[in-house]
Each structure stands twice: as structure tokens, then as C-alpha cells.
Structure 1
Amino acid sequence: MAAVNSDDVMQTPVLDAESHNLLQRISEEGGYAYVSMSTRAANGDVRAAEEAREMAWEQLHSGPWTSVLPVWRDAYAMACLHVAKFHYANGEFTEAIRVLDMGLIMGGMVLREDLDSAVRKATERANDLRTVNGDGNPKLLTDQNEINLTEVIQILPMKSLSCKLVGKRSALSLEGFMRDYFLSGSPVLLSDGMNHWPARIKWNDLNYLKTVAGYRTVPVEVGKNYLCSDWKQEMLTFSEFLERIQANDPNAPTYLAQHPLFDQIRELKNDIVIPDYCFAGGTEMKSVNAWFGPAGTVTPLHHDPHHNILAQVVGKKYVRLYPASLSEELYPHSESMLKNSSQVDLDNFDPNEFPKIQDLEFMDCILDEGEMLYIPPKWWHYVRSLTTSLSVSFWWSASPSSPTS
């Protein structure tokens, strides 16, 4: 536990201003016990703060996420701020960061500014106390620059890299992208579009990643993929996650997948740039997500409703693509939650059970470090990390007046 100056307190100006209104809204939804505990927490009762957080947590898990009242998400964020204040005052900075991150991940938007500023301050204090090992030179997350294509083909799905490769374009203009690919809905590999990203250098440096994000808590997936019975989700610190990546246990691959990491950790957001191509068609950005994991992580065959630029920052991936016109031949699941996913496990499928897929034409490619892949809406895609891989996906929708909408 670190000593804390009595003047060094965690400021929460939005909470201070909005507390009365928030508690009134929570009372209107029947949260009288929560209001009582939260009031006691604001007056210095740490046990009451923990009780209030538990009450809000139970409300967040009382039914489907979509049915949770937004006020209870704000109530959870409020309780997290109260609890984190006590940890910060006691010099327990990493514990304060953990609690604040849960508020960012599970809480509402009203108190987000307080959560963001508080986690930055706690991270600065934690880093002040951290012993930095080494001589200051970058410690690489991965130095796997080359792959053996013959060996790679052995682990990829049947017929990989033997049909039609996705075309590659260098220094393609936005106009050229729209004319040749966006309007026709055709995939393309884009090179030379990420050279100016700070992430291209910084994200392969373990010391950098641990400094800006090491204490942060993130949700990860454990298991082959989300369609497998042994798949599960865990909460880890980013440092713990990086250790899992380096250990790369084949029996329990750990993947930070489709998480809005850059809304949570602004320092990493500053390392990337939205590609100009995402402004095609009167852009409405839908999400920017992180896909970080070890070699062997797989996203099974599925499709998404939006335009997608998949940017490969560190490492290499294999991607296979089928056009939307072949949807029925790809055996989509019938359940509504999984109807955008195929029943076919390309890594291990029975041709007698899924005969139609054997002779289907597809496009594929190896997505190399520094390259971006445009995946049009509704195109089915399967993705496998060939090395330790840090990727970013940019989803956007065209405006209603766009020819592709």
C-alpha cells in the first residue's frame, strides 16, 4: 500500500453535480435500499459503498442485458466511483483501476467523464510506483516476421490459398476505392495505409503496452471460438492477458475479441487513425473494435451487417471470404442469435454432412502486418491468426442515399 498525500484525492465533478438527480431517478425505479447505501457511501462508509455496488450489479444481471434499465447502469458507475475513491485514498491504485474499469465496461454514460479522468489519475500513480525493468529498449511482444507457407497451409482449411486470392492495391485513393470496390461490394487488400499510425511501432513493445494499459481490466474469450461448448469469458488485467498471449496455451487460447477497447483506454485510441476509406458512402461509424490474441485464435465463418476495414497492426492472419449470394450453401444456424454464423467448422468439417460447401468458390489472403482488408457487408469470412496478432476493425454504414445502402 502506498502513502497518499491528504491533498491527493480522486475528483468526481460530474458525480458531485449529478448525484441528487441520479439518486432521485433510482428511487423512482424502486431502488430505495441502493439510495440509502449510496448516501452513506458518499459520507465515508466503505462497506456501504460495496453494498451499493453489489445491489447495482444484481440489477445488471436480473435479466437480458437489453432489458436492464439505463439508470441501473448509471447506479453501478456511481457505486464504482465511490468504491474506487476509498481504494485510491488508501494508496491501492491498481485495485481502484480495476473497479473503475468495471464501471467503464458495465456502467452507463452519465458518469463516464469522471470514470475516465479517475482511471487516468490512478494509472499515473500506479506507474509512478512501478519498477521498470530493463534498459528502456523495446521488449517485443512478437518477433515472428516470417512464416513458412508450406507449414501454414497444413493448418489452414482445405483448399486454402489455391483458389482466387484477394487483390492487393497500394496507395489506393478514396475515389479509386469507391469506384472499384465500395460501389461493387468487392473485397480488396489495402497496403501503405497505416504507415503513419503510432501503433505500428508502439504496439509491439511490451513495455509500452504495460505502461499505458497494464493495470486495466479487459474482457477476454477463452476457448477455440464462441461456437464451442467449452468457450467462456473472463476478466483479466491487460498485463495478465499479455502473459496469456505469450504463453499461448493451445488448450485454452485467450482472445480479446470484438471489444471497444479504444473507448475504454484512450491512450491506445490515440495510436490509431480511422482510415480515409471509412468515409466512403456518407459514413456513420458503428464501432471500432480490438482483436488481440496469440497464434491459432479463430473467428469462425460468419457475416456482419456493416462495411468493415480490418487493419493488421502486429502479426499476420489468414482470411477466407464467401460472397453473400452463397449464404444458403454455407449452412447458417437457424437460431436468431447465431443466424449470421455458419454451422460449418472449416477447420474440421464432414463433407457428408455439409456437401454443398465443398465446391464453392471463395477468395482468401494472408493479411500481413501494416495491411488492411476491406470486407463488404454480408460477406462471410473466416479468420485465423497465424502469429501473435493485434488487429483493429472499423465498422461503418453508408448513408441512406448511398447506392450500396
Structure 2
Amino acid sequence: MPKPTQEHLRRLREHCTDAAWTIRQECAEILSAKDRHAHTETSLVGCGPALVDLLSRQADIVHSLYQENHAGTTVDAVLEDGRDSSYLRKYNLALKRLEDIASVAYSKFYAYLFKDLPICWRQLYTDARILKFCLLLLKSPYVAKDESNRGGSPDGSHDCLDELVKTLDLALILAGAAGERRGRRWVDKALEFLHAVWLAEGTGHEIHDDSATNQDRPAKRAKLVDDHVPSQLHDDNDQYTGTTFSIYEPFTPFVTRPIKKVDALSMEDFQAYMDQAQNRDLGPEPLIIRNALSEWPALSTRPWNRPSYLLSQTFDGRRLVPVEIGRSYVDEGWGQKLITFGEFLHDYIDPTLLPQSNDHPTTDANHDKDSHGGRTVSGSNADTRPPKPVAYLAQHQLFTQLPTLRNDILIPDYCYTSPPPHPTDPSINQPELDEPLLNAWFGPPGTISPLHNDPYHNILTQVVGRKYLRLYSPRETTRLAARGKENGVEMGNTSMLDIGVLEGWDEAPDSAEHDIEGAVKNGVDGDAFKAIPFVDGILEPGDALYIPIGWWHYVRGLSVSFSVSFWWN
């Protein structure tokens, strides 16, 4: 029987060979067609014959290199053996051309709103990244012929793995891994094989032997320690080593008008709650459902509150994620960037989670952490650098990007009930979804979603840490100073009212004066704001909050927090 590493490598190499052949064949069909318009609009044909031909030639080179490389020798080994340098020339030229193709395709992303971007450019970008991945794999120590040179941590394997993972994540995040015959399924399978190779080489820190290929594993029932406290709050889970995320809360607002709370409801009882609203004109009101996540592995056997587990599912933090930088998306200076998951943990969650490096400096010996996770400063070498801005992995389809984490959660039964339409504005109702829309929300204390409303019903689930929420009914919309179109972007679902500033919890940002003027023009001053009725509450791990369609909500992370939202209608 072949060793696990060899078998996964064989399958990964075949996967790459098939991709190169398929891309080449698809390009050939387009270039040879008498009527190029006969192809569907999702075909590469929309990119034009010159780019299709260039892509085709690179696919042919990659395919031929894999045919020559059947013995399992790396590109570097070819040089060391002094063989014909044409192999290396073809390799380097193809690598450069693929970067050129990806750059041309990505430049088109700026010419359209993403929803209007012709899919041919997304497919071209994805195909170029897939072929680049195939080339990088040939240069990696993972395909070394000499088994004695593999195992442990092969020389250069870390840098190579960084680039391999980054290449496919860019296709997933920037282009949605579009493609008729490849795309997301191809990328997911390639990462699955690579993850298995990485673990078998001993460079990963996964505990379970089957986790690299466990996308079909059944979800285990999580047992709660008691009726109200999820098991993740108890330090009795030894499957993953290391500490849990800090539960320190720098600031916690008082709850003054509590949201109604109930213990976990059956699907039938939840449907009855929506159908039998106390106020027929308003419809169902927000509801906190305790112990709603009792069957989720994310709170027990595969614990998201342990950094070691999350790192094990992201190639030790190598996966790329998009994060928002800044207190709130309506503040001046707010922005977005792509960073590795490890950088996100180290730079914005807790600098002790990854080893110190030049890229991720930690505080010096005079800067110790107090028992709450805050920093105490002593001596003459006090750190005078300004604090880093808040970073938030917000409203990201993380579970499409990381299918293994998707297996750690379950879609609540509540999302398969029949909710009522919007109570005051039928134009907000959306076409019925085939499946709920899932988004991840992960960040340090102080993350904020400003007061806004959504066009769907929402089940917001809390997995790690705590969050404060304040909600206003759709009937108060005229009193909440909704924004209009700003810089060409429709912002009518977001309020000018900065709850944190108005309540004195936060310092006013630079943009506050403009927002205050706008709110006053809408007839909302400080006294008027305080008179608007609301409900508020704190979500604990294991809780779910039902947010009916149209309800305005402000969300504030109190500690390190990981939430999952489920939109449905």
C-alpha cells in the first residue's frame, strides 16, 4: 500500500494535470469555433481570442511539464542534476505569463460593480491562479523524489506552502473561484489534498487523523455541562492544546430594556411565535433563544474558542481572510485588506498566539499582561506607539472558503420556517432564498456594526465570547436618520446615529460632525434620540438571537467574539 503522503501527492498531481488539460481543451474549443458567439456568456470567449490563446499556451506548458515530471522530481532538482535548461525556461516563462494574465483579469474587477462583472474575467483570473498553483507545486519540496528528504519540515516547505495557499485563496476571495469546468470545487479539492500532505509530512498540528479529508464527516452531538453554560466555557476539552481566547471585556454596556429570552424552542413553537405576534401590525419581535446551539461541534468537540483548533484548520494560520480595519464602516479612514488568518490572530486578537517574528513584533520584557488580558506598563521603556485600529472579519462567507469549519456548525431549524413579510415596507422583501445565507463575524473586543437593518430575517448565533445588541422596530425608521446614497453607494439601510457616541461609550470619530448635522436635519437631536424605544441584550456563547426583517440593530463585540449569521426568508 502506498504511504499516505505518496497517495495524496499522486492524487494532487493528477488533479493538477487534469486542470491543465481541461483548460487547454476549453481554450482550443473557443479558438477553433467558427461562431465564437455560440458559446455561453460564462465562457472565456468574452475575454477575447488573444487572452484565450495566451492562457491556452500556458496550460499546454503546465501539462507538458507535468508529463515530463512523472518521476516526481522537483524543478530545483532538474537544475541540480544539470539537465536541459529548457525545462526551467518553460517553467519561469509560464509563471510570468500567468501573473500577467491574472493582472489583466483583475484590472477588469475595478471597471464594474462585482455583481455586474462579466464572469469571463472571474474565470480567467481563476484559471490563471489554478495553473500557477500547479507550477508552484512542481517546485515544492513536497514532490521531492527522495523520500528521505521529506518528513518533518522540508527545507523551504514553509515558504512554498505560504505561496501555494495564497494563490488559491486569492482565486476564492477575489474571483469567487469562477469557472465552468473547474472553479470552487477544484480549488476545494486541491486544498484538501494539500492539507492531507501537509499533515502527513508532520508540518501541521492537527490532532485528528481524518480531519484533512473530513468534509463528509457527520456532526457529533455536543453535550452541555449544565442547562445554561455551554461546554466551551469549561476547561475540560483536551482534544486541542493551548489556551482559549481571553474573555476579558474592556467595556460592557448596561442592559436597560431586555430582549425577551426563552430556552431552546422546537421548530413548531418558533413558527407559532412568529404567527402569533402580540402586535399584528408590527409582527414578531426579537427573541434570544438560549442553548440553541447544543448540537454544534464548534462549542464542544471542535472548539472555536481554542486558537489551536482554528489554526489547525487554516494551515497554521496561512489561509487568507478579508478584514475591515477601523471602528465602523461609516467612519473616515475605514478600510479593508487581505491578511493571513495567523496575522489576524497575532496582530489584532492576541500577540501571544503565534511565535514572535520580525513581521509580528511583540511587546518587550517590560510589558506584561495583567490577569484580564490588558497591558500593564512599567519601567522607562514604556510602549508609546499608538494602539492598533480594530480589525473585524465581518460578513464574510468564511464557510464557503473553509468547508471544514462549515462542518462544525448546523443550520438552525428555525431557518426552515415560514416568516412573515416586512411589516411596513413590502418593497424591502426579497425573492425567496433556496438556502440560508451564512456569514462569519470574528474579531477582538470593540468591533462594531453600526445601526442598520437587513432585507432578510436573521438568526444570529454566538459561538465564542459575548456581544451587546440594541434593536429598534421598523416603525421607528423615520426617527432613525437613515443615510442616502454616499459616494455612489446606497446606504439607506444604515443610520446616521452613532449609538456608541450618543451613549458616551466611544469618542466621536472625525466623521461624527457631518453625521450629527445630518441627523439634526432629519429631526433627531440628543433628546429625540433618547425618546426612541428600543430593546437590548447580551448574547452569550450558545445563544441565538432572532432579528426579524427590517429591525434596526446595533452590534458591539464585548470580548473576543465569533458569531455566525443565518439570513433566510
Shorter chain as denominator, the TM-score bin is 0.7 to 0.9
Aligned partner of 2:406 in structure 1 is: 269
**Candidates 281, 289, 293, aligned match of 1:190:** 289
Q: Aligned partners of 2:25, 2:480: CA distance in 1, in Å?
A: 54
Q: Following the alignment from structure 1 to structure 2, what is the Cα–Cα distance between the partners of residues 234 and 126?
A: 27
1:97/1:119 contact within 8 Å kept = yes
Question: Identity over the aligned pairs, expressed in percent?
Answer: 32
Range moving further from structure 2, 303-312 or 11-20: 11-20
Provide, for residues 259-300 of structure 1, a one-character-per-residue CA deviation record: whole Å limited to 9, x for no partner.
000011000000000001111118733410000000000000
Q: How does 1:365-404 map to 2 (within 5 A)?
A: 365-397=537-569
Aligned residue runs from structure 1 range 128-143, under 5 A: 128-130=201-203, 132=205, 137-143=240-246
SS in 2 for 1:257: strand
| 1:196-238: CA deviation from partner (whole Å, max 9, x where unpaired) | 1111131112111111112211111111111111111111111
Q: 1:324 aligns with which of 474, 481, 489?
A: 474
The question of 1:100 aligning with 2:168 is answered yes
Q: Taking structure 1 as reference, are residues 376 and 131 closer, same or farther at Cα in structure 2, changes over 3 Å only?
A: closer
Name the CA distance, whole Å, in 2 between partners of 1:383 and 1:15.
46
Give 3-state SS (helix, strand or coil) of 2:349's partner: helix
The match for 2:269 is 176
Which residue of structure 2 lines up, in the alignment, with residue 152 of structure 1? 252
CA RMSD of aligned residues (A): 2.7
The amino acid across from 1:130 in the alignment is T
**2:118 is the alignment partner of 1:73:** no
Distance in 1, Cα, partners of 2:112 & 2:330: 22
Structure 1 residues 123 and 305, CA, compared in 2 at 3 Å: closer, same or farther?
Answer: same
The answer to whether the 8 A contact 2:448-2:557 is kept is yes
Distance 2:104 2:325 in 1: 28
Once residues 259 and 22 of structure 1 are traced to their aligned partners in structure 2, the CA distance between those partners, rounded to angstroms, is 33
Residue 54 of structure 2 is aligned to residue 37 of structure 1: yes
Q: For 2:275 and 2:469, how far apart are their aligned partners in 1?
A: 19
Q: Residue 189 of structure 2 aligns to which amino acid in structure 1?
A: S
The 1:250/1:152 distance shift into structure 2, 3 A limit, reads: farther
What is the distance in 2 between the residues matched to 1:147 and 1:294?
Answer: 10
The residue number in structure 1 matching 2:132 is 83
8 Å contact from structure 2 (residues 44, 120) kept in 1: no
Count residues with an aligned counterpart: 384
Q: Is 1:229 matched up with 2:332?
A: yes
Are 2:299 and 1:200 equivalent residues in the alignment? yes
Distance in 1 separating the partners of 2:543 and 2:185: 34
Which one-letter code corresponds to 2:265 in the other structure?
Answer: L
- SS of 2:107's partner is helix
Q: Verify the 8 A CA contact 1:10 1:88 in the aligned structure 2.
A: no
User: Which residue does the alignment assign to 1:238?
Assistant: 341
State the Cα distance separating 1:14 from its structure 2 match: 5.9
Matching residue of 2:499: 346
- Please tell me the residue identity of whatever aligns with 1:95: E
| Corresponding residue number in structure 1 for 2:439 | 289
Higher strand share: 1
Counterpart contact for 2:198–2:204, Cα < 8 Å: no
* CA–CA separation in structure 1 for the residues paired with 2:387 and 2:566: 28
Tell me the equivalent position of 2:534.
362
- Aligned counterpart, 1:47: 96
Query: How far does residue 58 in structure 1 lie from its aligned partner after superposition?
Result: 1.5
Aligned residue for 1:374, secondary structure, equals strand
Cross-structure match for 1:11: 15
The TM-score normalised by the length of structure 2 is 0.63
Structure 1 residue 28: Cα displacement:
3.5
Q: Could you tell me how far apart the structure 1 residues matched to 2:544 and 2:553 are? A: 15
Query: SS in structure 2 opposite 1:124?
Result: helix
Instruction: Give the distance between the partners of 2:116 and 2:27, measured in 1 at CA.
Output: 19
User: What is the DSSP-based 3-state SS (H/G/I as helix, E as strand, rest coil) of the residue aligned with 1:9?
Assistant: helix
State the shift of 1:387 in Å: 0.3
1:305 & 1:289 partners in 2: Cα distance? 15
Shift of the 186–10 alpha-carbon distance from structure 1 to 2, 3 Å rule, reads farther
How far apart, CA to CA, are the structure 2 residues paired with 1:50 and 1:140? 41
Amino acid in the other structure paired with 1:223 = G
Task: Give the deviation of 1:112 after TM superposition.
Answer: 1.5
Which SS does the other structure have where 1:392 is aligned? Answer: strand
- Tell me if structure 2 keeps the 8 A contact 1:186–1:376: yes
Post-superposition shift, 1:251? 3.9
Distance 1:15 1:264, change over 3 A: farther
CA distance in 1, matches of 2:291, 2:259: 16
For 2:319, give the aligned amino acid: R
SS at match of 1:348: helix
Question: Any unmatched runs of 5+ in structure 2?
Answer: 31-38, 63-93, 141-159, 208-237, 277-282, 352-373, 375-385, 420-431, 503-515
Equivalent residues of 2:27, 2:55 under 8 A apart: no
- Residue from 247, 254, 258 that aligns with 2:395: 258
Segment drifting more, 268-277 vs 166-175:
166-175
Aligned to 2:184: 112
Relative to 1, partners in 2 of residues 1:360 and 1:35: Cα closer, same or farther, differing over 3 Å?
same
Q: Secondary structure at the residue paired with 2:440?
A: strand
Contact conserved, 2:246 with 2:559, CA < 8 A, in 1?
A: no
Q: Distance in 2 between matches of 1:173 and 1:291?
A: 26
Q: How far did 1:57 drift?
A: 1.2
Q: State the AA in 1 paired with 2:496.
A: Q
CA change 1:221–1:341 in 2 (3 A) is same
Residue matched to 1:125: 197
Cα distance between partner residues in 2 of 1:344 and 1:238? 32
Larger radius of gyration: 2
- Quick one: which amino acid aligns to residue 566 of structure 2? F
Matched to 1:333, the amino acid is R
Q: Using the TM superposition, give the Cα deviation of residue 126 of structure 1 relative to its aligned residue in structure 2, in angstroms.
A: 3.5
Deviation at 1:38, TM superposition (A): 1.2
**Contact 1:10–1:85 (CA<8 Å) still a contact in 2?**
no
* Residue pair 1:165, 1:365 contacting (<8 A) in 2 also: yes
CA distance in 2, matches of 1:172, 1:275: 11
Correspondence for 1:212 among 308, 313, 330: 313
